Amino acid sequence: MGGDIASNLVAGVDRFLLREIDRSVDRRAKYWNRDFSSGEAYNRSIEPNRKRLAHILGVRDERKPVEAIEYLASTASDGVLFRGKTYEVRAVRWPVIGDVSGEGLLMTPLKSGDGPAWEGLADVIAIPDADQTPEQIAFLVDGIDPDLQFARKLAERGCRVLVPTLINRKMGERKVESTDRGSGLSNREFLYRSAFELGRGLSGYEVQKVLAGVDWFTRERDPSDSKGANLELKQFKRKLGVIGWGEGGLIALYAAALDTRIDAVGVSGAFDDRMNTWQEPIDRNVFGLLEQFGGAELAGMVAPRGLLIEAAKGPEVTLPGNGGGAPARLLTPDIEVVKREFQRAKQLLEKLDPQPDWSLVVSGDGTGPYGTTETLNRFFDMLVNPQTPPRSMGGSQLSPVLAGTIDTTARHARQMHEIDRHNQWLLRESPYVRDAFMKDLDTESIEKYAASSESYRQFFYEEVIGKIEERPLAPNVRSRKSYDTPKWTGYEVVMDVFPDVIAYGILLLPKDLKPGEKRPVVVCQHGLEGRPQDVVSGDKGAYHDFAAKLAERGFITFSPQNLYIFTDRFRTLQRKANLVKKTLFSVITPQHQQIVDWLKTLPNIDPDRIAFYGLSYGGKTAMRVPGLVTDYCLSICSADFNEWVWKNASTRSRYSYVWTGEYEIFEFDLGSTFNYAEMAALIAPRPFMVERGHFDGVAPDETVAYEFAKVRFLYDARLHIGDRCEIEWFVGPHTINGKGTYDFLGKHLNWP
């Protein structure tokens, strides 16, 4: 094999994952059991899919009841921002979850003559793009063409319109104090990072804000709910619609897919097959989205209700990613993809009778302006009840003169703070959530513990790491001699795993091996941007040639090439993998299984004494892979072990990954499932050790000790095998120390 084998490895995994994305379309059918006998039966039949979508979006916190929308008035202003001939606009706020609220505008038709206090024809939630303010789609303000103000146009037609604020994509507004760390993060990515680790998502939070608006509108419009409601508002049951452009269009589609109270949804500049989500801003990342849901499947969840798709120019954004954030491009959806996915959605529902009221409106060639007259006419027709009394609105009420103003910068800062605060509250609660999750582990005996841990191992593999169900290929092992030293010989080894996926590493064989002798093996794993060669020779970085030094002590060693090399090349692998409910470790784990299976066939290897020892990102591997590749008889985590969920989700700590360039590092919902103590529980009762330098910048000593104490308690107090669990503290940095760990290997591998 010529060229850079590590580069070939990463490129092959890239091809494999892109193929998995393409294959996801045909695989989705097994997750759906649609009943087309009636609209009610159809909705019941897709309820499991709704629950799954809510879970992966992070729509799981119970919403607060919205008794009323709060007008934001003060002694300086009555809160009215605009009052026209037929409607008025107020700044408003409403409760959502915890301390998180929605904020935006409420556009309310005014009383005419002797009519009721409010005569709106329909209720609408109009959602702007992330980089628009509510005012821009509601007023004549700078920065937007009046023809694009779809919220204003709907208000002029007699709709009551709620316009929420979304978090914008501005860069670097949140940073570590007195540093530039975080300057390359958009506001949306900043909030996404913590949320994702804690099983939530920024899209999910914004869907919750929309659904809280739906809660209020439903309470106001439903004659069956007379508790505290204004009887004047109950003359007829109005319909409820949600419409949005760009980010707002995607949020509208998610909201309507989840909530059947929404009668019609309009999606502009945002509908496609979702196959390229990995290229879009990372806050759109949804773990496992394409396993069940493309654009067509999301649209199908709206049926039998009304759906309007407008193929129009969407927001176009480029995030360079050179300041620590994830590089991204947001483009107008390709018109051919829009048409094809819309047609596929209709085909999914061809057995539904009657067919839902759906429309595809193409603005220009698919890149024309959004919110066209045809689009709003069709959306309006889906909502207006034929029995609703007609009303003449008197034409456009454009006016540059407002009765009041609102500080949109301060409003956005409040919205940012509330979501961040909720994330940090979830972080504080997460240990208790994980305790409840792990409650079924039986520590009465080693045997009962091993049996009870199997369901957790399966959950960890399938729901957290992501398991590739494809059967591995025959290994077809190839090797070449690459090292010859006085004490050991080294071979580069390549083997097949899946189509396009190889495993690669360096095998070191001590020269004093005797025929028929069985020796222990230590698999020595490099860290970020590392290579197998780094742990073998040259005394590079923190490794100190530990694979070679162990070989000099008589161990057989194998040093694999892991995926985390070539910066954005490997980081985008994580983004592609996430879409199909996979991670980097979905590939790394079967690579290691293939390696171990092959090692066990070699004549001088004891198959019961194969150990794992990894540094840094290799330490991350030490926490994940041995829990799944149970052929590893022990695991040593060096220069990585810490309170992992805190390190990923804290926006207070300077140690946090929230502020760094490792945008791939976040794993969905670890906060509710597996921190490092819980991962170590999957390694138990096999021996486990942590190697920790006091001056390691991974984390402070106290968080390492806090998390390790839980592991020690399991091994010593519950399972009574404290001799199998150790930590070595040493005065040093992020490095292999090679003292206590070597003794640990000698002890548990029975090698003097």
Collect the ranges in the chain with pLDDT lower than 50.
Answer: 115-118, 178, 223, 225-235, 390-395, 400-401
Residue 186: name the closest of 332, 322, 286 by CA.
322
pTM of the complete model: 0.95
**Domains in the chain, please, with CATH?**
32-425 (3.40.50.1820), 438-748 (3.40.50.1820)
Contacts of 495 (CB under 8 A, 6+ apart): 475, 476, 477, 478, 502, 503, 504, 594, 595, 598
- pLDDT of res. 180: 61
d(CA 459, CA 441): 13
Beta-bridged to residue 82, according to DSSP, are 89
User: What is the SS3 assignment for 17?
Assistant: helix
Q: What angle do CA 181, 169, 311 make, to 5 degrees?
A: 150
Sort 591 into a burial class: Cβ within 10 Å, 0-12 / 13-18 / 19+. Answer: buried
Residue 521: name the closest of 635, 607, 624, 621 by CA.
607
- Strand 501-510 versus strand 488-498 pairing type: antiparallel
Instruction: Tell how far CA 260 is from the center of its chain.
Output: 25
- pLDDT of res. 534: 98
What does residue 109 show for φ and ψ, rounded to 5 degrees?
-60, 145
Torsion of CA 84, 86, 91, 93, to 10 degrees: 180
d(CA 85, CA 151): 16
d(CA 440, CA 338): 47
Q: List the structure tokens of 95.
A: 């409760």
- What is the residue-wise DSSP string for 615-648? ETHHHHHHHHHHHH-TT--EEEEES--S-HHHHH
- pLDDT of res. 230: 47
Residue 615 · residue 526 · CB < 8 Å: yes
Contacts of 83 (CB under 8 A, 6+ apart): 89, 110, 403
Residue 466: name the closest of 1, 20, 8, 6 by CA.
20
Sort 440 into a burial class: Cβ within 10 Å, 0-12 / 13-18 / 19+. Answer: exposed
DSSP 718: I
Residue 310: name the closest of 283, 289, 339, 349 by CA.
339
d(CA 418, CA 102): 10
Q: What single letter denotes the amino acid at residue 746?
A: G
Contacts of 86 (CB under 8 A, 6+ apart): 109, 110, 112, 156, 158, 393, 394, 397
Residue 105 · residue 91 · CB < 8 Å: yes
d(CA 154, CA 459): 47
d(CA 151, CA 161): 7
Residue 673: name the closest of 662, 683, 681 by CA.
681
Residue 238 · residue 214 · CB < 8 Å: no
